Amino acid sequence: MTIQPVNEKTLAKAAALIQDGGLVAFPTETVYGLGADATNEAAVASIFEAKGRPSFNPLIIHVTRNTDLLPYVEWNDRARLLAKIFWPGPLTFVLRRAVGSPIAPSVSGKGDTIAVRNPNHPVAQELINRAGSPIAAPSANASGKLSPTTAEHVWDSLGNKVDMILDGGPTLVGLESTVLDLTLPTPTILRHGGITKESLVALLGEVQESHAITEAPQSPGMLSSHYAPRLPLRLNALSARDDEAFLTFGPELFVQSGAYRINLSPRSNLDEAAANLFSMLCIVDREPYKGIAVMPIPLTGLGAAINDRLARAAAPRD
């Protein structure tokens, strides 16, 4: 069995696997990552292979305080300030690749930038420190599918393609990191995620959003059909048909429906809804349901990221 509990022995083994060019899935506070040594080109290539991820879609490298000062990327003042406030945490910076950076070229996809994050999870921190180099890690799911928030999700999506899955329980945030491009004159959100736009604006003043969702996106993860469940999704639904599952939010006082219901957050808490989103979608994305109806979710705070993932999940497939 590839799923392992976290202890001294499995951590040592996981770090050795990374150093040997292997693939280890590990928990972060956002979702589970599929990790490999970011400085090892062959190991990075095997991430793309295992996920079926297109080579143009770049990877985030994960660092800790011990590694983030090394010359992987060109730091700038904004990045330093943001790191001080939000790291470790669910915020990823896109920065220019430093001259002579040891990070494997394919981490950058087709570009000359590198996305970097310091994750707020003890297992991720321990693994990076023990491995002794940054860990490149996309979400640990087959390309285009829902991101995994439990070790079992990783197993279901990737199985034996991973050398080891470290089981740290369900992830806390449940949504991927916010990706912020700091190479442009105005900081630009490429993907909504665990750090809200409001909190970035509060610190930086001006922050823009990239709207190139479908055409030539700066961030390939912005492709519209990125988080595809099997069943069709119907958004902003106030009721559900009997053959649909109903993903609700907030008190269900006015809901009149015989459909199976599952509530993202009965007390209308967006953090709770984010943490539950992928696992609840997973629960209802199966027979006997014929579709998934989703109640409206507010657009404020983490609601922006939740609505973004839902819109992609509902987008027409090729």
List contacts with Mg ion (CB under 5 A).
139
Of 20-28, 55-63, 71-79, 197-205, the window that binds ligand AMP (rule: CB under 6 A) is 55-63
Residues of this chain, 224-253, that bind ligand AMP according to CB under 6 A: none
Nearer to ligand AMP, 72 or 155 (CB): 72
Q: How far is CA 317 from CA 24, 143, 175, in A?
A: 30, 14, 22
46: its two tokens: 């095997």
Rg (C-alpha) for the chain, rounded Å, is 19
85: its two tokens: 């406030």
Termini Cα distance of the chain: 35
Nearer to ligand AMP, 34 or 245 (CB): 34
Q: Which partner in ligand AMP, Mg ion, none is near 179 (CB below 5 to 8 A by kind)?
A: ligand AMP
Closest by Cα among 16, 21, 111, 116 to 69: 116
Phi, psi dihedral angles at 294 (to 5 degrees)? -125, 130
Q: Around 60, how many Cα atoms within 13 Å sit in the side-chain half-sphere?
A: 32
- Residue 58 is a binding residue for ligand AMP (CB under 6 A): yes
Of 39-47, 53-61, 234-242, 306-314, the window that binds ligand AMP (rule: CB under 6 A) is 53-61
x-or-dash string of contact with ligand AMP, 126-165, rule CB under 6 A:
------------xx--------------------------
x-or-dash string of contact with ligand AMP, 184-223, rule CB under 6 A:
------xx--------------------------xxxx--
Query: Under 8 Å CB-to-CB from 148, ≥6 apart: which residues?
Result: 25, 31, 32, 139, 140, 141, 154, 157, 278
Q: Which partner in ligand AMP, Mg ion, none is near 57 (CB below 5 to 8 A by kind)?
A: ligand AMP
Handedness of CA 245, 248, 251, 252 (dihedral sign): negative
231: its two tokens: 């069943």
Binding site for ligand AMP (CB under 6 A): 57-60, 94, 108, 111, 113-115, 138-139, 176, 179, 190-191, 218-221
